[in-house]
Amino acid sequence: MLEPAVPAKTPTILIIDDDAEIRYSLTRVLSSRRWQVVEAASGEQGIAVVKKSPPDLVFLDIRMGGMSGLEALQHIRSANPKQLVVLMTAFGTAQTAIEAMKYGAFDYIMKPFDPQKVLTLADTALQAHADMRAASDYKPMLNSEDYKEGIVGSSPVMQDVFKVIGQVTASDVTVMITGESGTGKELVARSIWKHSHRAAKPFIAVNCAAIPDNLIESELFGHEKGSFTGATGQRLGKFELCDGGTIFLDEIGDMALATQTKILRVLQQGEIQRVGGTDTIRVDVRILAATNKELEAMVKSKTFREDLYYRLNVVRIRMPALRDREADTPQIVDFCLQNLVKQKKARASKVSPEAMSVLVRYQWPGNVRELENVIYRSAVIAQGDTILLKDLPAEIRDAVGALPGTPAAVVAPTSVPTNPAMEATRVAVAESVALATARITAESIASGEPALSVERALDYLHHELTRGDEPILERLEREMVVRVLKAEEGNQLRASEKLGITRATLRKRIEEWGIKL
């Protein structure tokens, strides 16, 4: 038996304008949606209304007698930082736009008004207000001490990474860290150093790809005065400066063969020579290396020394791509926001459910580094303490089919899914079914046969999938996974692309359901 629906509260909109005709016209437009409209003839009156009974949305004129709209905006935002305000102006100058957004306006609209644009903007703003309310009970997912390592994630693949880090910290074993760019390889290296017996000694990171071949030896091993043009004095290299500590050689796959030979000597004998020098210098340095290249292929092509490869690759830690650990995305977002708030770089401290769902579903080709940049950009753009769907970059929204103003029921769940990977799979399956039924309908029409409507197709699916006690979505999901795997002859990579999920998620489903390939 269905529970009776709780009546939704009628949104209240406040119009602040000293022009009675403008207030009358705007009230008529907004009242057509049965929204409750309140009027104020001055900035002072409007501020009093906001303080007494905050509305869901404010339309505020910029140019008024007495207090200006920008002054009123600052007072309103000071009284209620979450108050959404749309500024109205007849002068769309660059300064107006910049000042409006600088002081926290949600948006601004030009006079004379297009009624449809007013209603669309009001719809978008009220949806944003609802999203902010939904995010109001947000609490940090982890305590600040849980983020001390800087590496965030509770997924099984990340737990494996943490275990290996713990295992190698007690020794001086050389570690090779591999993974795509932006996955956090340097953070792993720093964590190994921080928990090792060398933690009191220096940690030096060297990006081998950023230093020209003719300078990298001088950077690593130092040089003597006069050893080359411009060498006006003796210089100590990174290995000498790092004596007793840990050196991290990032992008070691970009290192020239001549330099690789000298790195091998350090690993084998613990000795270096400065460029232009003859003295042998003993150094005690632990080497950690990282690359996003396939060193095995480079060894075969003779562009990377085989003996150095085996010296470096004693223990390997593979950092997974972010798309292979979607469940960690909310924690990483949380970590980024806590950092921004701590550093006072942005107002936003939480994410609306709609926006979070999009962040979880996006594939992140640039991995964690790209996600961090998007969160920083969105937190700066956000006009309140919540990152809304509209604050995300358009390319992110477009990639997952989310558009500002689209109802939450269509775009995403109304709350952050407890299992983002499963939720993403279900969305992909639902979209696949819709596309399939549409294609059947089109083909039926083209062939002249009786058309199979989308409604009939869905009715058939519902009839078939409700013949038992098993949840419909789970059965539908499994059926689609089995069929796509069969169509792709067991190729998991192609099947995951067809289903719109990651290969890691597909592997989990195969194991969970005991699917035999």
Instruction: Kindly list the averaged pLDDT for each block of 10 residues, start to end, along the chain of length 517.
Output: 50 92 91 90 92 92 88 88 86 68 81 87 84 58 55 85 89 94 93 92 93 88 84 88 94 92 93 88 94 93 94 94 91 88 82 89 93 93 85 89 44 37 47 48 46 51 58 75 83 79 78 76
Q: What residue spans define the domains of the chain? A: 12-134, 156-320, 323-400, 420-513
Q: Would you say 359 and 329 are in contact if contact means Cβ atoms under 8 Å apart? A: yes
Report how far residue 473's alpha carbon sits from residue 429's, in angstroms, rounded to the nearest whole number: 9
Sheet with 85-89, strands from edge to edge, namely 36-40, 12-16, 57-61, 85-89, 107-110
Q: Strand, coil or helix: what is 176?
A: strand
pLDDT of residue 502: 76
CATH class of the 156-320 domain in this structure: alpha beta
Query: How far is it, in rounded angstroms, from Cα 503 to Cα 151?
Result: 23
Tell me the H-state helices in 420-487.
420-447, 454-465, 472-487
Rounded-to-integer distance, Cα 98 and Cα 405, Å: 23
Q: Indicate the CATH number of 12-134 among 3.40.50.300, 3.40.50.2300, 1.20.1300.10, 3.40.50.150.
A: 3.40.50.2300
Whose tokens are 């791509």? That residue is: 321
C-beta atoms surrounding 485 within 10 Å? 23
State if pTM tops 0.85. Answer: no
Cβ atoms of 28 and 71 closer than 8 Å: no
In a 3-state reduction of DSSP, which class is residue 256? coil
Q: Tell me whether the CATH fold assigned to 12-134 matches the one assigned to 156-320.
A: yes
pLDDT of res. 184? 92
In whole angstroms, give the CA distance from residue 169 to residue 152. 19
**Vertex 382: Cα angle to 377 and 387 (nearest 5):** 85
The pair of structure tokens assigned to 431 is 């979209």
User: Can you name the residues that pair with 203 across neighbouring β-strands?
Assistant: 246
Using alpha carbons only, give the angle 499, 504, 506 rounded to the nearest 5 degrees. 40
Of 154, 158, 195, 192, which is closest to residue 314 (Cα–Cα)?
A: 192
Domain covering 323-400, topology:
Helicase, Ruva Protein; domain 3 (1.10.8)
